[in-house]
Amino acid sequence: KRMKSDLPKVLFPLCGRTLIEHVVDHARQAGFEKIVVVVGHGADQVKAVLGDTVQYALQAEQLGTGHAVMMAKDHVQSKHVIVLSGDAPLLTPDTLRAMARHHLDRSAAATVLTAVMENPERYGRILRENNAPDGRVTGIVEEKDANPEQLMIKEINTGTYCFESGVFSLLADCGRSGSGRQNAQGEYYLTDALAAYYQAGKTVTAAILADPHEGDAPNNRVQLAETARVIQQHILEELMLSGVSVVDPHNTYVDITAKVGRDSTLMPGTIIEGSTVIGEHCQVGPYTHLKNVQIGNDVV
């Protein structure tokens, strides 16, 4: 709704891929062999983009994040499961691997990926024993439910988790017993799983992001443009480190799906989109727009 569009948010284009394609690609690069995408609104559109590269679980009724995770139960046979948001494209494969190691090394039942923000507005806050920075995680409180003291907490929930596979039964029990919170729409919070594990004496941990903005998910088109700028900077930096000259990075746009050969130069105003391939020792631009084309070596 915040995007003011009929298109599902996860399908918004971002530097040559949709938001969810970035997430799926990073999960695959992190080494996660089985990827299950929970679909609801716009399910057919999502399936048309991702195809048979992933498995799907249908959430016919939109009953919240906890309910969405429960829908994937029949697809999961592993001992642990990582839960990712389909609209958070900045989390890197290295971060996902580090989170999984953190979870396994501590024999945790649940791990939440957190960030420390100077301005934590809009985010759920991480609750710890004795309010100590190194205290055990006891739960998560949503901003609208937080008291004044909790609103002062700067450690926030990024919406990324690692659980032992018993989380599916735990969520079902929360629903049956009524111990899980419900909002006005009757939705269940996935965050309640952390408090339930803590109350059961299980280990609940937090893996803290070094870059607090890596967990950002764009909620409107202004934030989408900011996210695109971050990804575009990474794309151009990788090109330059691989031997491509970019004369004016602030005025050059290259999709993540495009390839540029070493010793080539991208002049100001260059836009390279889609599956474009540019050979070695080429000069492109200034002010050239290429999309889905192939260019050989030594072309100006």
Q: pLDDT tens, 91-136? A: 999 999 999 999 999 999 999 999 999 999 989 999 999 888 888 9
In a domain, 249, yes or no: yes
In a domain, 229, yes or no: no
And the tokens for 223? 């934030």
Active-site residues, by number, are 2
106 and 189 in a common domain: yes
242 and 189 in a common domain: no
Q: How many CB atoms lie within 10 A of CB 33?
A: 7
196 and 248 in a common domain: no
Give the least confident one: 50-59, 127-136, 242-251: 127-136
Nearby residues of 277 by Cβ (< 8 Å), 6 or more positions away: 258, 259, 293, 294, 295
Q: Which of 187, 117, 102, 199 is nearest to 158 (CA)?
A: 117
pTM: 0.92
270 and 147 in a common domain: no
Q: Is the pLDDT of residue 182 over 60?
A: no
Domain stops at, among 210, 244, 271: 210
268 and 185 in a common domain: no
Give the least confident one: 166-175, 204-213, 279-288: 166-175
Helix, strand, coil % in the chain, rounded to nearest 5 = 35, 25, 40
Domain stops at, among 210, 228, 245: 210
Measured distance CA(24)–CA(113) in Å, rounded: 18
pLDDT, mean of residues 214-227: 95
And the tokens for 139? 């739960």
Q: Which of 143, 139, 123 is nearest to 131 (CA)?
A: 139
Measured distance CA(157)–CA(125) in Å, rounded: 6
264 and 122 in a common domain: no
State residue 63's pLDDT score. 87
Measured distance CA(10)–CA(18) in Å, rounded: 7
Question: Residue 56's domain is classified under what CATH number?
Answer: 3.90.550.10
> How far are the Cα atoms of 36, 38, 65, 150, 194 from residue 56, in angstroms, in the given order?
5, 6, 16, 37, 25
Q: Is the pLDDT of residue 184 over 50?
A: no
190 and 69 in a common domain: yes
Which domain range does residue 265 map to? 236-295
Domain stops at, among 175, 210, 245: 210
Number of domains into which the chain is organized: 2
251 and 197 in a common domain: no
Q: Is the pLDDT of residue 216 over 70?
A: yes
